[in-house]
Structure 1
Amino acid sequence: MSSALLIEQALNGLQFGVMLFLMAAGLTLIFGVMGVINLAHGSLYMVGAFACAAVAAYTGSFWLGLVASLIAAAAAGAIVEITVIRRLYNRDHLDQVLATFALILIFSEGTRWVFGSFPLYLDIPKVLQGAISLPGGGQYQLYRLAIIGAGLIVAIGLYLLIAKTRLGMRIRAGESDREMIGALGVDIASLNTIVFALGAALAGLAGALVGALQSVQVGMGEPVLILAFVVIVIGGIGSIKGALAGAILVGVVDTMGRFLLPQLFALFMQPSQAATAGAAIASMLIYIVMAFILAVRPKGLFAVNA
């Protein structure tokens, strides 16, 4: 195993973790402030990817597509919050799960009706189509590094928003006591819509960025949504810092597990058996890590107010 290949896989894990952070950050904000379990968050990821692909194909500009993904996902999130989620705040979690699961079906069929059943494809912008050299002689795609950089910039921006602005102060207060800030004159309805739209925009951005690495297709958000829930459980529900830590942990563990475990099993098993066993254990690895972390820290790595 070369050092260049090991570094490449570690960077792949970091890139995957950053993408999960963009999903999980919005999800943990929504749950932390509103107490709503939003299964349709993956659909907003899909909306962002389709908006980016459609606008990029029409204009020839990936960057305009990226802006469109933010606007489309934020608008879809605001509409969903106003028309559906707002009626679920005082209902139990089962009602929220059923309603947002219905939204998944609506988004999927609506997207299929508008764009058809065939996948769309996004081209990586020319400025990011190159590769850089890694220690040991390997090459790593510049676009994947750009995703890592974009995710870290978003993480810093979210920290500054939550910690240093008046809106962030209201969001933190809403996590602690929504009724109290309502009594103090804060418009809770508007705050909820803003938070939901912000979370949706982050999901849409993740979908657009990943859309250039894989096909853009109906249902692409559901597998990522499951991992995003794992991230916020590991990191601590409601914590942006926890979402970042949990996302990077999940991304690196999942990627490195799929890379290293088959090679480890190959030391004492037949290659075909090692590949099968390694893939099976690797697919369970993040859930094993989650169970271990929750056994030690039942509320996750960081408290809600971290």
Structure 2
Amino acid sequence: MTIALAIEQLLNGLQLGVMLFLMAAGLTLIFGVMGLINLAHGSLYMVGAFACATIAAWTGSFWLGLVASLAAAAAAGAIIELTVIRRLYDRDHLDQVLATFALILIFSEGTRWIFGSFPLYLDIPPLLQGAVALPGGAEYPLYRLAIIAVGAAVAIGLYLLISKTRLGMRIRAGESDREMIGALGVDIRTLYTIVFALGSALAGFAGAMVGALQSVQVGMGEPVLILAFVVIVIGGIGSIKGALIGAILVGVVDTLGRFLLPQILAILLPPAQAGLMGGALASMLIYIVMAVILAVKPRGLFTAHG
């Protein structure tokens, strides 16, 4: 394996990790503040992707599509919180799971009814087309590097929001003692709506960014949602820092595992068999990592209130 190929695979893992962070940050924020298990988070990822693809097709501007993805996902999240989620806060987690699973079906069939069953496609904007030379002579797509940079910027922005603003102070207080901040005069209902809309906007933004790398289609959020749950369990439920570290860990482990395991097994097995077994083991690798981490630190790498 050459240095250029190793760097390329590391960057692929980092790019996957950044996208998972955008999903997991909103998910862990919602669970940490509101105590809500939201299985419909992947549907908001899909909403952002479809909004971006639609507006980009109408206007010819990918950038307007990105703005539309944020607005559409945030609006959808606020509407969901006001109409459905608000009735679930005092209910059992099983009720929350069933209700948000029903939202997955509603969003999927509603999207299929509006856009049809055929996928939509997003073009990478001209500004971000092309490639950048890596050490060793290989080239890496500029758009993927831009995704990594955007993810880093979002992580910094979330840190500043949570740690330096009045809204962030209320969010931290809501994680620690929601009854107390309600008693102090904070409108807890409005805070919940803002947090849910913010988490939804992050998911929609992630869907829009990934939409330029793959097709935009119904159900595209569910596989990512599973990985996002793995991320927040590894990082620690309710921890933004944990979501970032966990997402990068999952992205790099998953990417390098799928790349390296077939090559390692090819030393002992025929190439076809090594490819099949390596792919199967690679798909299990992040869950093995999660199990090992939870065996050592049952609350994840970082606890929200530790």
Q: TM-score under structure 1 normalisation? A: 1.00
1:110 offset after TM fit, Å? Answer: 0.6
2:127 matched to 1:136?
A: no
Shift of 1:3: 1.2
Give the secondary structure class of the aligned counterpart of 1:300.
coil
SS in 1 for 2:132: strand
1:157-183 Cα deviation digits (max 9, x unpaired): 000000000000000000011000000
Aligned position for 1:192: 192
Deviation track 1:50-80 (CA, whole Å, cap 9, x = no partner) reads 0000000000000000000000000000000
2:298 corresponds in structure 1 to 298
What is the DSSP-based 3-state SS (H/G/I as helix, E as strand, rest coil) of the residue aligned with 1:298? coil
Shift of 1:89: 0.1
Counterpart code for 2:283: S
Moved over 4 A (4+): none
Give the count of matched residue pairs: 306
* 1:170-249 equivalent positions in 2, closer than 5 A: 170-249=170-249
Partner of 2:67: 67
- Provide the secondary structure at the position in 2 that maps to 1:201: helix
- The reply on whether 1:152 has 2:152 as its aligned counterpart is yes
Q: Distance in 2 between matches of 1:269 and 1:112?
A: 44
AA aligned to 1:300 is G
Which amino acid is the alignment partner of residue 152 of structure 1?
A: A
CA distance in 2, matches of 1:186, 1:109: 38
Separation in 1, partners of 2:46, 2:297: 33
Q: Write the distance in 1 (CA, Å) between the matches of 2:230 and 2:103.
A: 21
Q: Who is 1:102 aligned against?
A: 102
Matched, 1:79 2:79: yes
Report the residue type matching 2:96 in the other structure.
Q
- Note the C-alpha offset of 1:305: 2.7
- C-alpha offsets along residues 77-127 of structure 1, whole Å, 9 cap, x if unaligned? 000000000000000000000000000000001101111110000000001
Q: Which residue of 2 aligns with 1:167?
A: 167
Q: Find out whether 1:287 has 2:287 as its counterpart.
A: yes
- Aligned amino acid, residue 81 of structure 1: E
Q: Displacement of 1:304 after TM fit?
A: 1.1
Runs of 5+ in structure 1 lacking a partner?
none
Cα deviation for residue 10 of structure 1 reads: 0.5
The alignment partner of 2:299 has SS state of coil
CA drift of 1:214 comes to 0.1
* Length-normalised TM-score, structure 2: 1.00
Partner of 1:40: 40
SS of residue in 1 equivalent to 2:284? helix
Shift of 1:303: 1.1
Task: Give 1:188 deviation, angstroms.
Answer: 0.3
Measure, in 2, the Cα distance between the counterparts of 1:94 and 1:303.
23
The CA distance in 2 between the partners of 1:181 and 1:138, in whole Å, is 54
DSSP 3-state at the match of 1:216: coil
1:131: how far off? 0.3
- SS of equivalent to 1:140: strand
Counterpart of 1:106 in structure 2: which amino acid?
A: I
Please list the CA deviations of residues 269-306 of structure 1 after superposition, one character each: whole Å capped at 9, or x if unmatched: 10001001100000000000000000000000001136
Where does structure 2 lack aligned partners over 5 or more consecutive residues? Answer: none
Q: Distance in 2 between matches of 1:229 and 1:235?
A: 10
Code of the aligned partner of 2:106? I
**Which residue type is aligned with residue 40 of structure 1?**
A
User: Cα distance, 1:148 vs. partner?
Assistant: 0.2
SS in 1 for 2:140: strand
